[in-house]
Structure 1
Amino acid sequence: MNAPVTGTEDLIYTIEGGIAKIVFNRPQARNAMTFAMYDQMASICEGINGDPSVKALIITGAGDKAFASGTDISQFRAFKTAQDALDYEGRIDRVLGTLEGCRVPVIAAIAGACTGGGAGIAACCDIRIGTASARMGFPIARTLGNCLSMSNISRVVALVGPARTKDMIFKARLVEAEEALAIGLLSEIVPDVETLQVRALETAKLVASHAPITLEVTKEAVRRIRRTLSRDEGEELLLRAYMSEDFREGMDAFLNKRAPNWKGK
């Protein structure tokens, strides 16, 4: 039977037969992530690192509309200073770094929109399985006018290369499932949500049956091979985006459901 562990209404966590599962449970908000949800996910990964009974982790979103549609925009309302921006990116880097460093294989089961912070979470996972309706990307050049953290840029470039990274972000487009499979954003496509959950569990059980140290050291070796830009290397870039008039305009336009008026300053 499922054993709930530190679950909340917005994020449900269960373990069954050595397979842990996180469900982002805000379907009414397209599973947009609150700061509390980010922190809870990191805490779960830290717990898994100290629990040898857990062999694999599945991350998914409730419903069929979204895996996670990014950070809940209302979380940005309090941004006033440069330190607010740096603290936010530092928090997200810590969370995603903890997810990426989770010792067990992490499988993202993706249905619908996987955008912004949600796509960042997916990029940290080891295996990404999507439905035919899955769409992935970072449409921030069209919506908010902010930027990805240096760590997230590094992860996306490692997955799809620099040219495709710029193409996705410059055009603010979402990559459909078939293209995502072709360029390495997805490992596999299944037809629907029901099949997705079955396939994610099958995959988790398969990797859980293999030598755990082999999986752990391979995962860590791949992480070490990939060069990750540090926050310090991109601090001035983060501040240029988050302290801009365009970011305030993008946030106001998004919350008021209107088109932003970009000024480039």
Structure 2
Amino acid sequence: RGNLVMSTLESVRVPTIAAIAGACTGAGAAIANCCDLRIASPSARYGFPIARTLGNCLSMANYTRAAALIGFARLKDLIMRARLMDAQEMLACGLLSEITPDEESLPTRAQSLAEEVASLAPLTLWATKEALRRVRDTMIPEGADSDLIVACYTSRDFKEGVEAFLAKRKPVWNGE
């Protein structure tokens, strides 16, 4: 179901903009990855700390979206160390278009960016979005990750991760 939401967001004919303030993790990061442009305040943090929190995995579509934006090596580093990038690192690796001076100016800048993009040739913008989405989609065979999703989401570790998250305690992993 999550992939349907992400695909729907990517299929919007007009460019989409993510305005990021504070933590942008998990599903929030996956949604931001589906947007065409991303801007953030200096407080922004981005990543998938799932190896520390829930013990689950991303879908191949979400891994591919993230890797297309930040590279495979950086994505592995984020996930395998359960770390978050700060706004400066996000900008340096190309995930962000810009960082606003502060959190208060983020909505205004997002609005002005939307107006700037809306003034451009809509068919060019749509064709570019669609072409890049199609290129990325050729990299993922349908159902290629079902065994990975089932292994993680039906595991004892995932159950432990959810219970620990809800209880606000550190999970005890056992690899099962």
Residue 255 of structure 1 pairs with residue 166 of structure 2: yes
Write out per-residue CA displacement over residues 221-260 of structure 1, whole angstroms, 9 at most, x where no aligned residue. 1112224424510100001100110000000001001111
Structural mapping, 1:1-265, within 5 Å: 91-226=1-136, 227-265=138-176
- Shift in Å, 1:161: 1.3
Which one has a larger percent helix, Structure 1 or Structure 2?
A: 2
Q: Secondary structure at the match of 2:144?
A: helix
Q: Secondary structure at the match of 1:229?
A: coil
CA distance in 2 between partners of 1:231 and 1:148 (Å): 15
Write out per-residue CA displacement over residues 99-148 of structure 1, whole angstroms, 9 at most, x where no aligned residue. 01111000001100100000000000000000000000000000000000
CA distance in 2 between partners of 1:126 and 1:167 (Å): 23
* Structure 1 gap segments, 5+ residues each: 1-90
* Structure 2 gap segments, 5+ residues each: none
Whether the 8 Å contact between 1:150 and 1:228 is mirrored in structure 2 is no
Q: Which aligned segments of 4 or more residues in structure 1 are displaced greater than 3 angstroms?
A: none
Normalization by structure 2: what TM-score? Answer: 0.96
Normalization by structure 1: what TM-score? Answer: 0.65
Of structures 1 and 2, the one with the larger relative CO (CA 8 A, separation 6+) is 2
Identity of aligned residues (%): 59
Whether the 8 Å contact between 1:151 and 1:228 is mirrored in structure 2 is no
CA distance in 2 between partners of 1:148 and 1:231 (Å): 15
Which one has a larger percent strand, Structure 1 or Structure 2?
A: 1
CA distance in 2 between partners of 1:189 and 1:230 (Å): 35
Q: Secondary structure at the match of 1:232?
A: coil
Write out per-residue CA displacement over residues 39-98 of structure 1, whole angstroms, 9 at most, x where no aligned residue. xxxxxxxxxxxxxxxxxxxxxxxxxxxxxxxxxxxxxxxxxxxxxxxxxxxx00000000
Whether the 8 Å contact between 1:150 and 1:231 is mirrored in structure 2 is no
CA distance in 2 between partners of 1:161 and 1:230 (Å): 20
Whether the 8 Å contact between 2:24 and 2:47 is mirrored in structure 1 is yes
Q: Secondary structure at the match of 2:151?
A: helix
